[in-house]
Chains A and B, each alone.
Chain A
Amino acid sequence: MNNILKLFSLLAIVAMMFTSCSPEDFSLGAKDVKTGDLVEGIAYKIEHDATNPNIVYLTSLMGNKYTPLWSHPQGRSQEQKVTLKMPFAGTYEVQFGVETAGGPVYGEKTTFTVDNMYAEFVSDEMWTLISGGAGQEKTWYLDLDAVGTSRFFKAPIYFFTKTYTWDNLHYATGESYIDGYTNENFVWDPTKAITPNLTDGAATWYWEADYAGNSWMCDKADFGTMTFNLKGGANLIADQDAYGLGKSTGTYMLNTEKHSITFSGAYPLHDTSRDADMKSATEFRILYLTKDAMQIIVDPTGVVYNYISKDYKDNWVPGEVVEPEPTLPDGWQTDISQTVTRSVKWVLSPETPFNWANLDGSLMNAGWTSADKYDSWTGFNASVASSYENFSLTLDSEDKSATYVGIDGATTEGTYTLDDKGYYTFTGISPNFVIGTSVTLKTSDTNQWRITKIEKDASGSIAGMWVGVRDAVKPEYMVYHLIPQLGTVTVDPLKAWKKAFVGKIFKPDVDCFVDWVGFPPEFSGGWTVADANFGGDNYTANSWVWAQDVRTVAESASLAFTLDGSDIKLTLTQKLSGADYTAAGKIAIDPDAAIINIGIPLVDYAGTAASWVGTTNDKSITGSVYDWYFVSHDGSTLANIDEKGFWLGRISANSSVGDEKDEVLLFHYVLAK
């Protein structure tokens, strides 16, 4: 019996599942109320308060079966009884409707009259914020001007789910969802709103679009002014005559409890493409209001207009933005135009032909140091270089002639100028071709390139320059890497290195033996050189790295460079844990990358305050822990090594392996006296 019951239960569930899946009937029911039924006195009543006739009650007489749909001077309501607090004398319209199974049904409009002003009803702060107070006026602007500047908001228009209200966007304590604009520590928590709008889905959506990235929202313009006053009534003068939307004068009414606003005879400032939406709006609600700024949402579009007060606009001072400039080394003009002759033939680097640069010239993708390091989407790899091997640009600084050879081998003659800021301006030539598949090498609309960076090799000779075109919107340059082609004479690539090192002994610099800088190739930053309290006899200011025991080891150490056949050999001597220590190893130098591979660990500070500084490049990103960066730090080069010494760097922090930052630790060695 039990089993039979179970079987029947199972069948019943299956049957229920089938019936629950049957199609639903979505057709509307009948309208059981007609327009003629919704008459004042029968369907609803309008009454003035017995003690204060400026208080008007709208009451539905249709019973709870019907949801009332009121349209009145202070907006729209769906309550059975609505209380209106009317501050001004006048005749006002009311329309009553109800929601029926067949849809909404409205009655004819009717009116009520208020005979006298009641000032108490405009004493709420909202009236003062919007109009300046009784007897005053206040002018507002859309927050965008003819040059495209928004002063308080990110744009003149934001986009919201149309149901948003003031209470969804404010705490009971007054803070609002955009208080972060003026207080960087403020973080909006929608769960703490007066009425949290936390339904999981589309109802919570809103978008604070920025104008710079979304200029399609409206053309930049002076949109005109709107002036709210409380002079003999609540009046609005919207002057968009110069903008093309005319000038109109009307009235407005605030509902200070619901934060809604109604307009009659005039509309708030708006843009031309949404003029029709504004005029067919069913409701306006204020989402944000301070003495400086105001937001009004237009229902049903959900478009929110952002306004600023005249006072705010007039007193707004733009933040001082000093744009960084590329810093070119002293004598750069001579460097790039005078080598052996005054004519320099530039070609596009086969390894690093392009990049993007910040306004100060630093490369935005510093990791793109060879063809295999480029992101795939750039379309560049080692095989692409052959496609532009014909390209060259020969610039003769004597007669200012420019010879451009395109990637197809075609030669074009022209001229150029070069100004003090590093701008090349070309006439008669205009380099333009695609590198790979994605990036186009070209000059600017005014046929210019700006030098953003000049590179020198370890011997101080020009190794290349980055030239580029500034982006029209973003603060950056698209840059191309030109390298000088100096002929085909075979020279020993290590000649300058051997001249700088061989036969010399260097010692750790006891006045400034270490520094910290950024990653290659920039090695930007550093602080110890300029710190008077670093090194020397001061063992307290930076005792975590510089102490008497560190100095003792530093003074005991020396690096002697000798020639072993055609190779450079390094012999290290030092006191290690009090005992004499010597090691020797061969040196291999990559002159292009300025990397020195030293076959032995360098000075060991074991047992001292600097024991942690390391003896090898144990976080190397080049593949060998014996690779050291030869860094031109504090103006040092191979050419001035006798005066300035040299800096060897090892990776001390690498964010790609979990460290907090990218950092290179430099050791400074100076010529032994």
Chain B
Amino acid sequence: MESLATSFFNIQYMKSFSIYIFIIFSCFLMSACGKKKQSQEEQKKEQFEDAFTTTEELQEKAIEDPEFAKSKEYTSQMEDACIEMSKKTFNMRETDKLLLEFEVALNALKEYTDKIKKNPELSKDASFTEKIQTKVNKVIDYQQKLKKTRLNPLEKKKFDALCHQK
């Protein structure tokens, strides 16, 4: 009995150990939940961005190929992509949705302006500059909507950061 009192199975040790395990387990759970939520948000954003990119590619293809623009394939693929975008932003606050759309539109524009930075000759390619202009039009559209929206300080900070991100 004496040896049990000093061993690991001592009731005092067990109590302390249980509390220790409980705290560790709770921390692990909270951290896991937080990470899961963050990861879900990121996943949602990625999926939205993928769908956004798909719509842009489809629209570019439709501009280049009028037959495709009139096809059921175009309608159907645009419908799928736009519905996906709508689902990813459904129930989102209007401002959060606009900020997400703005951010994604900026990323899409940046991808193209990076190309022109690497290869300035592209600025003489009318078809390429037309595509950039289309992306710029989307960006200015979201930018103007956000400028007319009453943003809280955090949203304003994010908006300003997006406007001036390199």
Contacts and interface: CB of A to CB of B under 8 A. Distances in A.
Interface string A1-32: 01100100000000000000000000000000
Given A3-B9, A3-B14, A377-B139, A159 B90 contact: no
Given A207-B90, A434-B123, A440-B132, A379 B113 contact: yes
Interface string B74-86: 1110110011001
A364 B87 contact: no
Interface stretch (B28-36, B43-51, B140-148): B140-148
Contact of A205 (B11, B72, B90, B129): B90
Contacts of A205: 86-87, 90
Q: At the interface, is chain A mostly helix, strand, loop or mixed?
A: mixed
Given A159-B86, A376-B165, A433 B79 contact: no
B106 interface: yes
Contacts of A364: 140, 144
How many A residues touch the partner, as a band? 20 to 34
Interface in B1-20: 9, 11, 14
Interface stretch (A75-83, A213-221, A414-422, A493-501): A213-221
A218 B74 CA distance: 10
A356 B136 CA distance: 11
B90 A434 contact: no
Contact of A440 (B58, B75, B78, B129): B129
B129 to A, nearest CB: 5
Nearest to A277: B76
Do most interface residues of chain B lie in helix, strand or loop, or is the interface mixed? helix
B86 A207 contact: yes
A111 interface: no
B129 A375 contact: no
A159 B83 contact: yes
Contacts of B139: 377
Contact of B163 (A377, A474, A656): A377
Nearest to B10: A3
A51 interface: no
Contacts of B113: 377, 379, 437-438
Given A159-B86, A216-B58, 14 more contacts: A159-B79, A205-B90, A216-B62, A216-B75, A216-B78, A356-B144, A376-B166, A378-B136, A379-B113, A433-B123, A437-B116, A437-B123, A440-B129, A440-B133
14 contacts: A3-B9, A6-B14, A159-B79, A207-B90, A209-B86, A219-B70, A356-B144, A375-B143, A377-B113, A434-B116, A434-B123, A437-B123, A471-B137, A474-B141
Interface of B: 9, 11, 14, 58, 62, 70, 72, 74-76, 78-79, 82-83, 86-87, 90-91, 106, 109-110, 113, 116-117, 123, 129, 132-133, 135-137, 139-141, 143-144, 147, 156, 163-166
Interface of A: 2-3, 6, 159, 202, 204-205, 207, 209, 214, 216-219, 272-273, 356, 364-365, 375-379, 433-434, 437-440, 471, 474, 656
